[in-house]
Amino acid sequence: MLRTKKAKPAQTTAQQLSALIKSVRQILRKDKGLNGDADRLPLLTWVMFLKFLDDLEIRKEEEAAMDGRDYEPLIEPPYRWRDWAARPDGINGDELLAFLSQDKAPGPDGKRRQGLFAYLRSLADREANGGQRRVISNVFKGVQNRMVSGYLLRDVLNKINQIHFSSSEEVHTLSHLYESMLREMRDAAGDSGEFYTPRPVVRFMVQVTDPRLGETVLDPACGTGGFLVEAFDHLNQQIKGDTKQRELLHQATVYGQEAKPLPYMLAEMNLLLHGLEAPQIAYGNTLAQRLNEIGHSQRVDVILTNPPFGGEEEAGIKANFPPNLQTSETALLFLQYIMRMLRHKDAPIPAHGRLRKAGRAERGGRAAVVVPNGTLFGDGVAALIKEQLLKDFNLHTIVRMPQGVFAPYTDIPANLLFFERAGPTRDIWYYEIPLPEGRKKYSKTAPMQFEEFADCLAWWKKRKEGPQAWKVKASEVAKRGYNLDLKNPSAKQGVEHVPPAELVARMRGNEAEVQKLLGQIEALVAEVEA
């Protein structure tokens, strides 16, 4: 029998996609059950996730048919997007809401059966295609439909049905649109204490850490997946047409973990949109594992992460750490976990099916970690952790970030720690990223740009001391009680020297301001006395 290819749907331009997503968000604003982007973005995410899965399934079914193979779908009828969502005149109103959320409800064919979310959550129990089914199941564990109008939801489904995830160009365009929506979501995240890492910082950390094909990469506090996406893109560029390399990258290279349901779902979607076929992201608190139970088989080659700032963990989590190193401060617990998770040189590396043979690590693992200033100068438990860091690892570089990098979430000064399991530390290099000329700090509307790392990138491989870079012996840090908060010795100290004429002008201006304030105070006093 002669097979003919299906006509490909017309490709949606970037402008059309942008307009389509905008119109979807306008529809969502009309629904009384959704409160702001904190509700709208998750709903848009799981709807697009289901459309993406169906397009992926259709592509795999067609490939199997061309090869004469059977294909076992991840999602069965009538739960596929094409069964209940694709028809503009399909299931609608209260029937649609019931089909999504109830344990039992009439489906698109009128037969009473398991509801969509209940079915998707049960996929983890099925053995076949367990990896991808586990991802789907975990994503929908925390999903709720908050829309109260099934008719508005039908309008949303009809709009999203116009996106074709079978086109790599469209997926690429949509990934950029999606990232812009994630940034909006992040703007509202400061209240929850979550500080998302700006893309230029992520890119810099990945470039200088330089993950290589064959290594494993982990973000134990992955949020919406920024580090993992950047690492995946970095590794993907290294593939030279080798199918085995590609499979290894997609199946056994990039790993993450996230404790909160919304960022977890966003990370899964973010990675899928960027081309990672089966994201390996665990759902749950990374710190729930006892530190002394982490062995060679779990350790990784590269860790890239921004652990939560200022968070506090419960007593049960603290108990997973050595008695003398227990603390409620999340950043310090994560630092211990990262140190434990880095692979030793010559340590055994487990095989991964046919993709990777068992072997030995050629070098110790390495990490790039965002930490607040408090971690640098902290004493007590913090000092003990830093002592261990310098004795067992090579803390070769600390990059000091300028004010406002994490605006608008926080103005807490941040630092980037770069270390590897190749201790002890002999010397620590510091590099201070300056603010652009004329700027006092970064802001939401004027954030940091990647180009501002250019001088640091040039310095990285050919290091020498200068106005922005200096070197400190680890023995000196030990004498200071392991205080790593060392200022730039080249920075201006003391009184700022200005020309006499400018100094006089400043003094006259200050005097005028004082006189103005005194006049206001006198007026207030006169009002009170009257």
Q: Quick check: 311 pLDDT over 80?
A: no
Reading the block at residue 269, the tokens are 């979607």
**Rounded CA gap, 425 and 427, in Å?**
6
Helix (H) or strand (E) holding 428: strand 427-432
527 assigned to some structural domain: no
Answer with the residue of higher pLDDT: 52 or 222: 222
Helix axes 37-67, 14-30, angle to 10 degrees: 130
12-31: average pLDDT: 87
Given this model, what pLDDT does residue 179 score?
A: 66
Given this model, what pLDDT does residue 192 score?
A: 44
Given this model, what pLDDT does residue 188 score?
A: 53
184 assigned to some structural domain: no
- CATH number, domain of 114, equals 1.20.1260.30
Residues 259 and 129 in one domain: no
485-509: average pLDDT: 66
pLDDT tens digits, residue range 466-478? 999 999 999 999 9
**Rounded CA gap, 478 and 79, in Å?**
61
3 assigned to some structural domain: no
334 assigned to some structural domain: yes
Residues 94 and 222 in one domain: no
Residues 231 and 360 in one domain: yes
Q: Quick check: 38 pLDDT over 80?
A: no
pLDDT tens digits, residue range 363-412? 999 999 999 888 999 999 999 999 999 999 999 999 999 888 877 666 77
456-463: average pLDDT: 95
Given this model, what pLDDT does residue 191 score?
A: 44
Q: Quick check: 90 pLDDT over 70?
A: yes
Residues 158 and 222 in one domain: no
What contacts 134, CB < 8 A, 6 or more positions away? Answer: 123, 124
Given this model, what pLDDT does residue 169 score?
A: 66
Residues 203 and 160 in one domain: no
434 assigned to some structural domain: yes
Reading the block at residue 512, the tokens are 């005028």
Q: Could you give the 3-state DSSP secondary structure of residue 23?
A: helix
Residues 315 and 408 in one domain: yes
pLDDT more than 90, % of the chain: 53
Q: Could you give the 3-state DSSP secondary structure of residue 421?
A: coil
Answer with the residue of higher pLDDT: 322 or 518: 322
25 assigned to some structural domain: yes
126-135: average pLDDT: 68
- CATH number, domain of 374, equals 3.40.50.150
Answer with the residue of higher pLDDT: 128 or 507: 507
pLDDT tens digits, residue range 190-248? 444 455 788 899 999 999 999 999 999 999 999 889 999 999 999 999 998 778 899 99
Provide the pLDDT confidence category of residue 262 given band limits of 50, 70 and 90: confident
487 assigned to some structural domain: no
The whole domain housing 237 covers 189-479
Q: How many residues does the chain have?
A: 530
Residues 207 and 161 in one domain: no
Q: Which of 106-120, 162-176, 498-512 has the lowest mean pLDDT?
A: 498-512
Question: Do strands 427-432 and 394-400 pair parallel, antiparallel, or not at all (unpaired)?
Answer: parallel
Reading the block at residue 78, the tokens are 């009538």
pLDDT, the chain, mean? 86
Given this model, what pLDDT does residue 48 score?
A: 87
Angle at 459 between CA 455 and CA 463, to 5 degrees: 155
Given this model, what pLDDT does residue 172 score?
A: 62
Residues 204 and 124 in one domain: no
Residues 38 and 161 in one domain: yes
Residue 366, φ and ψ in degrees, nearest 5: -135, 155
Provide the pLDDT confidence category of residue 257 given band limits of 50, 70 and 90: very high
27-56: average pLDDT: 89
75 assigned to some structural domain: yes
Residues 145 and 262 in one domain: no
Residues 263 and 361 in one domain: yes
Given this model, what pLDDT does residue 366 score?
A: 98
User: Of the residues 449, 464, 479, which one is the last residue of a structural domain?
Assistant: 479
Residues 125 and 243 in one domain: no
Reading the block at residue 2, the tokens are 């002669």
Given this model, what pLDDT does residue 176 score?
A: 66
pLDDT tens digits, residue range 53-69? 898 889 889 989 999 99
The domain total for the chain is 2
My answer on whether omega of the bond before 200 falls inside 30° of 0, hence cis, is: no
